[in-house]
A and B are shown apart, each in its own frame.
Chain A
Amino acid sequence: MHDDEFKPIAEGGLLDRRLFLKKGLTFTSIAWLAPSAMAEAVRSDAMSTPGRALSNYGNPSNHENKVIRWTMGNAAAPVNGVSWTPLHALEGMITPNGLHFERHHNGVPDIDPDSHRLLIHGLVNRALVFKIEDLLRYPMTSRYCFIECGGNSNAGWHAEPMQTEAGYFHGMASCSEWTGVPVKMLFDEAGIKGRAKWVIAEGADASMMSISLPLEKLLDDCLLAFYQNGERIRPENGYPVRLLVPGWEGVLNVKWLRRLRLTNRPVMARNETAKYTELLPNGKAEQFSFVMGVKSLITRPSYGQQLNKPGLYQITGLAWSGHGKIVKVEVSADGGKSWAEAQLQEPVLSRCFTRFRIPWQWEGKKAVLKSRAIDEQGNQQPERHELIQAKGQQGYFHYHAIVSWAIADDGSVSHVYA
C-alpha cells in the first residue's frame, strides 16, 4: 500500500471512505484482530460435543442477551410507556422484529385476527368492512422504511447532555421491510367522495388511539401493513394490521388498525393537539408537523463503548430522512471544524435507514466525532444550537440535531454538546 492513501482527508485522522473497499481484508485485519486470536487452535468444546437440536423458532445467541430494548413505563401504569431499539448494538439497516421500538398508550392488545375487522367509512360511496383473511388476498407490495416516534431523541433538548447508549437515546426509530396493501386500493373500492380531505385512523387497543392524517398522504404511499421483515407483524407492532405512513411521525402509523374514516376536517384528537405539537418560543405551537426531519448519528463508536488502543477503526452509523433519500453523510473528528464524506452503503432508499461508514485513524488522543446528513430535498441536519435558535427548547418533538461523541485519551466515549 502507498502511504499517501492513508493521508487523512479531514482533521483528527479521518481517511478516504473508499479505503476499506480498496484494501479489503488486509486493512480490517490490522484494525480488528488482536494477536491472542491465535490461541484457539485446539479443538473446542463446541467442536467436541453435538450441539443443540432443531427449533421451531430461533432466538439470538445467549451471548447476545445484553442486546435488548430499553423499556420505560409509567410508574403507576407500566402499560403506558416506551421501549428503545439498541441502535448502538446493531448493524446494517434492518431492525430485528423483537427489537423494534415500542410506544404503547395502554398496553399491547392480544387480537384474534379472525374476529378483527377494518372499517372504511365516512365520505365514501360505500362504507366497507374487511376481514383480515380477505385483506390478505389483496395484491401486496413491500417497502423498506423507518418508523420514528415524533418524540425520539427528546433528551437532546435537555440543558446537559444525557449520558446513555445511542439507542436508548435515539432508538425510538427502527427500520423494517413492511409488506401490505396500498391504502389507495381500498379507498378506491369504497369510492372517495369529493369533499374528503382528511382521514381519521383508530386502533383497537385499550386507548383506542386515534389521529387525523391528510387523505393525500394515504393515497400517495401508505400501506396497510401485515408483514414485518417477512413474518406477520408482532403484537407490539400492531398485529394483525397497522398503518404504514412512510417518513412521517410514528404516532400516525396507527397499530391494531380498526377504522379509517374519511372526513373533510381533522378531528383534533389529543395526540394532534395536546401532544405531537411543538411549542415555539413565542408561545405558539406547530401542529401537523408530520415529516420527520433529516437525521444521522454515529452508532460506533458511541457512548458506553471503549476504544482499546490507538489504530484504525471504522466509524459507522445511520442516517435517515422523512423527506426522501439520504444523499450525503459527512463525518467530523474535530468537533465540526473539518468534515469528510462517508461511504453510503447500498441500498440507499427513500425514507429508510441508510448505513454510513468511514475509516478513522485514532491517535489515542481526545477527539469529538460528529455526523451530519443531507437528504435529496437539500435539507441538512442542523447543529444543536441552530435547531434551538430556530425552534427554541420547549418543542419536545422533532429533535434531529447533530450528535457529538467525545473520545477521551483513554478511549472512553461520552456524549457532549459541541
Chain B
Amino acid sequence: MSMRKTLLFFFSVCWSVAVIAESSPDLGEIATVDFLEQGRYDVFPDGEGLPQGSGNATQGEAVYNQHCQTCHGLKGEGGSAEELAGAMHGLTDNPPDKTIGTYWPYATTLFDFIRRSMPLSAPGSLTDDQLYAVTAYLLYINHIIKNEDEISAKTLPRITMPNHEGFINVFDGQE
C-alpha cells in the first residue's frame, strides 16, 4: 500500500467507526454476574456448562418411570413421543432407527436438552442429580454405560457415543 492509500484506508476506517458509534444508540446495560447466570443452560461436548451433582441408571429408572414414561413409554419405547431407546435397525437399514444409541453423537446433548426442555409437561422441575440420573438411565437402556456407572460433570463428557463419527459438517465443507 502506498502512503496515500494507507492514509486513505486509515481515515475511512476511522470514519466508519465513528459512524457506527454515532448511529448506534448503545442502549444495552452491562449484564450483571447474576444476569449472566441465564447463560448457564448451554452444555458443550467438552462438558462446559455441566453443573455439580451426579446420578446413576438405577436412580434414573425411578426418575424416568415417574416423569417420562407416560409419553416416552416403558424403557423408552412405544410411547406417544419420540423413541428414546430400543433401536431394531441400524442407520443403513430401511427404515433406519435414529435413537440416542444409534444416532446421537454426544452424550452431553442429552443433559442439555433434558434440562432445558423435559419433562415436556413441567420443564425445569428436575434437580441436577435427577437430571444426571435420568441421563444415565437413557444411556444405560441404549447399552452405552453400565447400571452402576456414576454420571457427573466429570464422566459425562468422556462418554463416546456409538455414532460419534457419524456426522459430516457440510457448512464448514462449503467454506
Instruction: Give chain B residues whose Cβ lies under 8 Å from the Cβ of A268.
Output: 44-45, 105-106, 108-109, 112
Contact between A120 and B44, CB atoms less than 8 A apart: no
Shortest Cβ distance from A394 into B: residue:
B96
- Candidates A207, A282, A287; contact of B169 at CB < 8 Å: A287
Return the CB mask of A118-131 against B: 1 if under 8 Å, else 0: 01111000111111
Contact between B27 and A285, CB atoms less than 8 A apart: no
Return the CB mask of A282-295 against B: 1 if under 8 Å, else 0: 11111111100000
Is A261 part of the binding interface, using a Cβ–Cβ cutoff of 8 Å?
Answer: yes
Smallest CB separation, B133 vs chain A (Å) = 19
Is A365 part of the binding interface, using a Cβ–Cβ cutoff of 8 Å?
Answer: no
Instruction: Give chain A residues whose Cβ lies under 8 Å from the Cβ of B35.
Output: 117, 119, 129
- Candidates B31, B79, B123, B167; contact of A121 at CB < 8 Å: B31
Given A119-B35, A188-B20, A202-B41: A273 touches B105 (CB 8 Å cut-off): yes
Contact between A210 and B28, CB atoms less than 8 A apart: no
Contact between B167 and A190, CB atoms less than 8 A apart: no
Contact between B112 and A269, CB atoms less than 8 A apart: yes
Contact between A289 and B171, CB atoms less than 8 A apart: yes
Contact between B116 and A76, CB atoms less than 8 A apart: no
How many of B's residues come within 8 Å of A, CB to CB?
Answer: 52
Is B1 part of the binding interface, using a Cβ–Cβ cutoff of 8 Å?
Answer: no
CA distance in complex: A296, B108 (Å): 39
Smallest CB separation, A21 vs chain B (Å) = 40
Instruction: Give chain B residues whose Cβ lies under 8 Å from the Cβ of A393.
Output: 94
CA distance in complex: A307, B31 (Å): 62
Contact between B42 and A210, CB atoms less than 8 A apart: yes
- Candidates A76, A134, A185, A265; contact of B70 at CB < 8 Å: A76
CA distance in complex: A127, B105 (Å): 31
Contact between B80 and A261, CB atoms less than 8 A apart: no
Instruction: Give chain A residues whose Cβ lies under 8 Å from the Cβ of B71.
Output: 76-77
Instruction: Give chain A residues whose Cβ lies under 8 Å from the Cβ of B25.
Output: 134, 137-139
Contact between A261 and B23, CB atoms less than 8 A apart: no
Contact between A106 and B29, CB atoms less than 8 A apart: no
Instruction: Give chain B residues whose Cβ lies under 8 Å from the Cβ of A143.
Output: none
- Candidates A80, A189, A200, A258; contact of B24 at CB < 8 Å: A189
- Candidates A80, A130, A186, A284; contact of B167 at CB < 8 Å: A284
Contact between A210 and B30, CB atoms less than 8 A apart: no
Contact between B23 and A139, CB atoms less than 8 A apart: yes
CA distance in complex: A389, B167 (Å): 20
Smallest CB separation, A315 vs chain B (Å) = 35
CA distance in complex: A255, B58 (Å): 37
Contact between B39 and A206, CB atoms less than 8 A apart: no
Is A1 part of the binding interface, using a Cβ–Cβ cutoff of 8 Å?
Answer: no
Is B38 part of the binding interface, using a Cβ–Cβ cutoff of 8 Å?
Answer: yes
Contact between A269 and B123, CB atoms less than 8 A apart: no
Instruction: Mark out the residues of chain A between 131 and 151 whose CB falls within 8 Å of any chain B CB in the assembled complex.
Output: 131, 134-135, 137-139
Is B15 part of the binding interface, using a Cβ–Cβ cutoff of 8 Å?
Answer: no
Instruction: Give chain B residues whose Cβ lies under 8 Å from the Cβ of A273.
Output: 104-106, 109, 167
CA distance in complex: A80, B123 (Å): 13
Return the CB mask of B153-172 against A: 1 if under 8 Å, else 0: 00000000000001111111
Contact between A270 and B41, CB atoms less than 8 A apart: no
Contact between B95 and A207, CB atoms less than 8 A apart: no
Shortest Cβ distance from A200 into B: residue:
B42
CA distance in complex: A258, B36 (Å): 12
Contact between A274 and B123, CB atoms less than 8 A apart: no
Given A279-B96, A282-B92: A119 touches B39 (CB 8 Å cut-off): yes
The 6 closest A-B pairs by CB, nearest first: A128-B28, A288-B171, A76-B80, A134-B27, A208-B116, A127-B31
Contacts A131-B27, A138-B27, A210-B112 aside, 5 further interface pairs with beta carbons under 8 A come to: A127-B36, A135-B27, A207-B117, A208-B117, A284-B166
A-B contact pairs, 26 of them (CB 8 A): A75-B80, A76-B80, A76-B81, A117-B35, A128-B30, A131-B27, A137-B27, A138-B25, A188-B20, A189-B26, A202-B42, A261-B42, A263-B44, A267-B42, A268-B45, A268-B105, A270-B112, A270-B113, A270-B117, A273-B105, A273-B167, A283-B90, A283-B91, A286-B170, A288-B169, A289-B171
